[in-house]
């Protein structure tokens, strides 16, 4: 196995959210990054953000160690063919959210699959474009790698090194397995979120005024860019359709059971809710641990500068590490509720410290 290492010179093709974020992460490690994008404005912004220099037109004097093809799924194969023809780099990877179709297209086009290792960093945002890019986007996230049997060990080592340089965890997975997995944990939930949000278009303001945190969470990713997502869904159509059909069936059955109204029918609906509990509990939590492992300490706070600093200072003095924070603001009121997630054994100590300093900590 070739040694992993940080590439010295990388070309990033496509300066959207993912490409620019990779470039920024590499720049922080001192890697030389050359950027290219057919959208001149996106390229200019990425350069201005310090993601690297624009790739000169024409062939480069010397191939880079790695070319990252950060383009939509449908463009991966042709972009790879073009890059290899130009001799852009000695190893190639992509970042597309689907793997099987682009790999099949690359083989069909006659791309050199010894130097290509397909990849997919599991990170993103409902925002897109270089302006939303961050060098820390991949910190601690999984980064799927799908090397074919043809892939040279040196290429696998280089692409694995890229994932690690970005702070991600490389996960080797077979392309078809990858596509079925992301259909389940990303692509289909995306369409479902959109379908729930789509129902709100016809609602009146009174109904929307009764919205709580639940519908906000369920529909957050419905704010994503449709142009980006239609490409992803089209390239992973069968696995996504399988999941959507199963969800549609469960919902149609639940609707019909609710109309039935019998106790037996209600028991079947309750069974769906129980399966939901079971499925939800299988998602790994932050720090890879159990999500329910933290205790939540609520604090009522005035919504003004400096208040949070004093609370976190008190936590520091008590030697308590805050694992997570959420703020629930009160619409139209200068008050909020801060929820501090901490290790269970630290919860009482933190609550006591905050109460001693005059904050309202219910419980």
CB 122 within 8 A of CB 141: yes
State which of positions 224-243 bind a second copy (CB under 8 A).
Answer: 224, 226-227, 229-230, 233-234, 237-238, 240-243
In sequence order, the 6+-apart residues with CB closer than 8 A to the CB of 73 are: 96, 97, 98, 101, 102, 231, 232, 234, 235, 236
Q: How far is the CB of 109 from a second copy (least distance, A)?
A: 19
Q: How far is the CB of 16 from a second copy (least distance, A)?
A: 16
| 128 is an interface residue for a second copy by CB under 8 A | no
Q: How far is the CB of 189 from a second copy (least distance, A)?
A: 5
Provide the 10 A C-beta neighbour count for residue 285: 12
Cα–Cα distance for residue pair 89/106, rounded to 1 Å: 17
Compare residues 21 and 79 and give the one whose CB is closer to a second copy.
Answer: 21
Compare residues 6 and 218 and give the one whose CB is closer to a second copy.
Answer: 218
Q: How far is the CB of 224 from a second copy (least distance, A)?
A: 8
Q: How far is the CB of 243 from a second copy (least distance, A)?
A: 6
Compare residues 6 and 269 and give the one whose CB is closer to a second copy.
Answer: 269
> In the block, which residue shows the tokens 């972009």?
79
| 196 is an interface residue for a second copy by CB under 8 A | yes
Q: Is the dihedral of CA 282, 286, 287, 289 positive or negative?
A: negative
In sequence order, the 6+-apart residues with CB closer than 8 A to the CB of 228 are: 72, 128
Site string for a second copy, 305-324 (x = CB under 8 A): xxxxxxxxxxxx--xxxxxx
Bridge partners, residue 64, by sequence: 89
DSSP secondary structure, 193-229, as one string: HHHHHHGGGG--HHHHHT--HHHHHHHGGGGS-HHHH
Cα–Cα distance for residue pair 72/153, rounded to 1 Å: 26
Cα–Cα distance for residue pair 11/355, rounded to 1 Å: 55
Compare residues 114 and 326 and give the one whose CB is closer to a second copy.
Answer: 326
Return phi, psi of residue 145, to 5°: -125, 130
Q: How far is the CB of 212 from a second copy (least distance, A)?
A: 5
| 217 is an interface residue for a second copy by CB under 8 A | yes
Best CA proximity match to 145, nearest among 127, 169, 115, 180: 169
State which of positions 256-295 bind a second copy (CB under 8 A).
Answer: 256, 258-259, 261, 266, 269-270, 272-284, 286-288
| 111 is an interface residue for a second copy by CB under 8 A | no
| 139 is an interface residue for a second copy by CB under 8 A | yes
- C-alpha gyration radius of the chain: 24
CB 245 within 8 A of CB 218: no
Cα–Cα distance for residue pair 11/35, rounded to 1 Å: 6
Compare residues 110 and 302 and give the one whose CB is closer to a second copy.
Answer: 302
| 348 is an interface residue for a second copy by CB under 8 A | no
Compare residues 59 and 266 and give the one whose CB is closer to a second copy.
Answer: 266
| 44 is an interface residue for a second copy by CB under 8 A | no
Site string for a second copy, 150-189 (x = CB under 8 A): -----------------x-x-x-x---xx-xxx-xxx-xx
Cα–Cα distance for residue pair 196/218, rounded to 1 Å: 8
| 329 is an interface residue for a second copy by CB under 8 A | yes
Candidate residues 9, 44, 86, 134; the one interacting with a second copy per rule CB under 8 A: 134
- Which region, judged by CB under 8 A, interacts with a second copy, from 37-45, 59-67, 85-93, 209-217? 209-217
Bridge partners, residue 336, by sequence: 301, 329
Candidate residues 206, 264, 345, 358; the one interacting with a second copy per rule CB under 8 A: 206
| 41 is an interface residue for a second copy by CB under 8 A | no
Q: How far is the CB of 92 from a second copy (least distance, A)?
A: 22
Candidate residues 48, 245, 290, 348; the one interacting with a second copy per rule CB under 8 A: 245
CA angle 134, 136, 139 (to 5 degrees): 145
């Amino acid at each position: 196995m070739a040694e992993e290492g940080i590439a010295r010179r990388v070309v990033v093709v496509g300066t959207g959210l993912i490409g620019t974020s990779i470039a920024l992460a590499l720049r922080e490690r001192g890697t030389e990054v050359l950027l290219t994008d057919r959208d001149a404005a996106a390229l200019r912004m990425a350069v201005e953000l310090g993601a690297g220099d624009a790739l000169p037109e024409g062939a480069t004097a010397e191939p880079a160690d790695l070319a990252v093809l950060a383009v939509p799924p449908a463009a991966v194969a042709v972009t790879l063919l073009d890059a290899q023809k130009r001799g852009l780099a000695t190893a190639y990877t992509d970042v597309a959210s689907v793997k099987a179709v682009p790999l099949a297209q690359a083989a069909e086009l006659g791309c050199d699959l010894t130097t290509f290792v397909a990849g997919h960093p599991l990170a993103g945002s409902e925002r897109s474009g270089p302006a939303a890019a961050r060098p820390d986007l991949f910190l601690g996230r999984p980064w799927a790698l799908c090397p074919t049997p043809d892939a040279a060990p040196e290429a696998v080592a280089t692409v694995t090194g890229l994932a690690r340089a970005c702070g991600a965890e490389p996960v080797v997975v077979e392309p078809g397995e990858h596509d079925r997995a992301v259909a389940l944990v990303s692509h289909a939930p995306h369409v479902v979120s959109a379908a729930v949000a789509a129902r709100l278009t016809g609602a009146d303001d009174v109904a929307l005024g009764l919205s709580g945190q639940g519908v906000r969470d369920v529909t957050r990713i419905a704010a994503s860019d449709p142009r980006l997502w239609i490409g992803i869904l089209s390239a992973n159509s069968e696995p996504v359709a399988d999941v959507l059909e199963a969800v549609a069936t469960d919902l149609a059955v639940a609707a019909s059971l609710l109309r039935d109204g019998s106790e037996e029918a209600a028991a079947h609906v309750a069974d769906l809710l129980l399966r939901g509990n079971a499925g939800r509990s299988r998602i790994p939590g932050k720090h890879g641990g159990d999500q329910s492992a933290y205790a939540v300490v609520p604090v009522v706070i005035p919504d003004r500068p400096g208040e949070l600093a004093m609370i976190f200072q008190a936590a520091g003095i008590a030697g308590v590490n805050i694992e997570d924070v959420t703020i629930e603001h009160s619409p139209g009121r200068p008050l909020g509720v801060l929820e501090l997630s901490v290790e269970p054994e630290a919860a009482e100590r933190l609550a006591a410290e905050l109460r001693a300093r005059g904050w309202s900590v219910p419980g």
